[in-house]
Amino acid sequence: MSPRLNLGPKPRLGYVESKLERAAERRDDAAYLSALQGDPNGLNYVIGGELVVLKKNGGGFNAAFTANDVRNLGTTNETVFLGLLADAGCFGIGLGEAATQALQARPDLHVTDLRSIAVQGLVGPDDLAPIAEAKALLHWHARHRCCANCGAATQSVHGGWRRDCPHCRAQHFPRTDPVVIMLAIDGENCLLGRQSRFPAGMWSCLAGFVEPGESIEEAVRRETREESGVSCGRVRYFASQPWPFPSSLMIGCHAEAISREIVVDRSELEEARWFEREEVATMLLRRHVEGWTTPPPVAIAHHIIRAWLEVGAGVFA
Ligand SMILES: [Zn+2]
C-alpha cells in the first residue's frame, strides 16, 4: 500500500456546486419568466461568445447585472433562464460580436475570457457555475439557429432550453459533449501529457471525447491507448465537471495501466511520459525545481491528480 501524502486543505473545483434551483417546471411559463426578468433583484450574466462581461466594483468585479444594467448594454441577442437563486430569477444574456466589442471600450466594464476569470479568481466561486451554464447554453443558441432536420430557422422556447422548428415541427435540445479525462497509474508512477497549447512546463491528464456507442470505461482505455500507446485495465470514476469551452462535461477517472511503453500520438500531444509520485506532488504544490506544474484547482485534472497523490492505489478501492 502506498503511503498517504498530506497536501493541505482541498481547494474548490470550478463551475460546480451551483446554488441555482433550475426550476425546469417553470420554463414554459412565459408570463412568469417575463415578470422575473423585470424584477430589480434579478441576476443577469452577460456573455459575448468566449467573453464574459463584468462590472467594475471598486478594486473588484461583479459578474451579475441588474435588469436596468442590461437595458444599458445596447442590443442583446438572446436571453435564457438559468434558474432561481432564492426568489430571484437568474438569466444568461447573449451578445453579438459588435455589441461585445462596443462594451470593451466602456470604463465601467471589464470584458475578458472565462478561463482568466476562473484562474485569477476575478469573481466569487459561486458565480462560476451560473456563468458556465449561461455560456454553454448561449453558445448552443448561437450555433444552432437553423433546424438540423430541414434547415428552416428555429425559435427559442421554454426559457431557452429548446428550439422548435416551425416548418417540420422538430424539437432541438441543448447539447453537452462528454469528455473522459483520466490519470493512468502504474504503482508509484502516473502518466501525464502535454499539449502544445499548454502553458510552458504544465503537464496534465490525457483526455478525449466519448464516441457514440462507447462506455466511459471504453473511452478511457481507447483514448489512453491512442494518445500514449499505454493499455489500461481497471477504470474507476472519480468526479465530473461542466467545462463550458464550449459545452463539455469532463468525466474524471483513474485508470490502472497494464503496459508501460509510450508511443506518443504527435497529432494530439507534444509529449507524454511517466512521472514519479514525489515529483508530481512538487508540481501540484508549485515547488518543482524546473518550475513544472499541473493544472490549477479550477480544473478537474488538478483534483484527479491530487486524489492519487493523497491515497495512491486507494483510488481503486
Ligand atoms: Zn425543421
Q: For residue range 185-214, what is the model confidence (pLDDT) as tens digits?
A: 999 999 999 999 999 999 999 999 999 999
Measured in Å, residue 162 CA sits from the centre of ligand 1 at: 13
* CA separation, residue 171 to residues 33, 161, 162, 214 (Å): 21, 10, 7, 25
CA neighbor of 219 nearest in space, from 249, 247, 190, 181: 181
**Residue 300 contacts residue 239 (beta carbons within 8 Å):** yes
Looking at residue 210, what DSSP letter applies?
P
Examine the pLDDT at 44 and tell me if it is beyond 70.
Answer: yes
Provide DSSP, 1-23.
Answer: -PPP----SPPPPTT-S---B--
Structure confidence by residue, pLDDT tens digits, 166-177: 999 999 999 999
142 CA distance to ligand 1 middle (Å): 17
Question: CA nearest 95: which of 53, 138, 47?
Answer: 47
Which cell numbers hold the place of 57? 466594483
Instruction: Tell how far the Cα of 313 is from the centroid of ligand 1, in angstroms.
Output: 52
Place of cell 465537471: 241
Rounded to the nearest whole angstrom, what is the distance from the C-alpha of residue 133 to the centroid of ligand 1? Answer: 26
| Ligand 1 centroid – CA 174 distance (Å) | 16
Ligand 1 geometric centre to CA of 141 (Å): 15
Distance CA 50, CA 53 (A): 10
CA of 291 to the centre of ligand 1 (A): 54
Alpha-carbon radius of gyration of the chain: 22
In the 8-state DSSP scheme, what is residue 152? P
Report residue 7: phi and psi, to 5°. -105, 10
Predicted TM-score of the model (pTM): 0.95
The confidence band for 6, taking pLDDT boundaries of 50, 70 and 90, is confident
Say what the pLDDT of residue 80 is. Answer: 98
CA proximity to 131, closest of 65, 75, 69, 58: 65
How close is the Cα of 153 to the center of ligand 1, in Å? Answer: 8
- β-bridge partners, 189: 186, 276
Summarised one tens digit per residue, pLDDT across range 248-292 is: 999 999 999 999 999 999 999 999 999 999 999 999 999 999 999
